[in-house]
Amino acid sequence: MAKITIIGGGSWGIALSVLLHKNGHHITVWSKLPAEIEMLQNNHEHKMLPGVILPDDMCFTMDAKEALTDKDLLVFAVASAYTRQTAKELAPFVRDGQIIVNVAKGIEDVTYKTLSEIIEEEIPNAEVAVLSGPSHAEEVSRGIPTTIVVGAKKKSTAEYLQNLFINDVFRVYTSPDVLGIELGGSLKNVVALAAGVADGLGYGDNTKAALITRGITEIARLGTAMGAKFETFCGLTGIGDLIVTCASMHSRNRRAGILIGQGKTMKEAMDEVQMVVEGVYSAKAALGLAKKYNVDLPIIEQVNEVLFNGKDASAAVKDLMLRDKKIEISDTGWEE
Question: d(Cα 330, Cα 332) in Å, to the nearest integer?
Answer: 6
State yes or no: pLDDT of 78 exceeds 90.
yes
Could you say which of 176, 200, 235 is where a domain stops? 176
- Per-residue pLDDT tens for 128-173? 999 999 999 999 999 999 999 999 999 999 999 999 999 999 999 9
Q: Do 297 and 218 form a contact (C-beta atoms < 8 A)?
A: yes
Report the number of distinct structural domains present in the chain: 2
Could you say which of 159, 176, 193 is where a domain stops? 176
pLDDT at position 267, please? Answer: 87
Q: Do 83 and 106 form a contact (C-beta atoms < 8 A)?
A: yes
Q: Are residues 102 and 140 located together in one domain of the fold?
A: yes
Q: Are residues 20 and 157 located together in one domain of the fold?
A: yes
Query: Domain of 259: which CATH number?
Result: 1.10.1040.10
Q: Are residues 302 and 232 located together in one domain of the fold?
A: yes
Q: Are residues 129 and 271 located together in one domain of the fold?
A: no
Q: Do 83 and 116 form a contact (C-beta atoms < 8 A)?
A: no
Q: Are residues 144 and 213 located together in one domain of the fold?
A: no
- Per-residue pLDDT tens for 182-206? 999 999 999 999 999 999 999 999 9
Instruction: Spell out the SS3 assignment of 4-47.
Output: EEEECCCHHHHHHHHHHHHCCCEEEEECCCHHHHHHHHHHCCCC
pLDDT at position 282, please? Answer: 92
pLDDT at position 331, please? Answer: 66
Could you say which of 150, 176, 202 is where a domain stops? 176
pTM of the model: 0.94
Q: Are residues 238 and 101 located together in one domain of the fold?
A: no
State yes or no: pLDDT of 275 exceeds 90.
no
Query: Residue 226 sits in which domain range?
Result: 179-321
Q: Are residues 171 and 308 located together in one domain of the fold?
A: no
Q: Do 1 and 27 form a contact (C-beta atoms < 8 A)?
A: no
Instruction: Tell me whether residue 211 is exposed, middle or buried, using C-beta atoms within 10 angstroms of its C-beta: 0 to 12, 13 to 18, 19 or more.
Output: buried
Q: Are residues 210 and 88 located together in one domain of the fold?
A: no
Does 329 reside within a domain?
no
What integer is the mean pLDDT of 218-229? 98
- Per-residue pLDDT tens for 93-103? 999 999 999 99
Q: Which residues are catalytic?
A: 188
Comparing CA positions, the residue from 196, 212, 197, 190 lying closest to residue 278 is 190
Does 336 reside within a domain?
no
pLDDT at position 328, please? Answer: 86
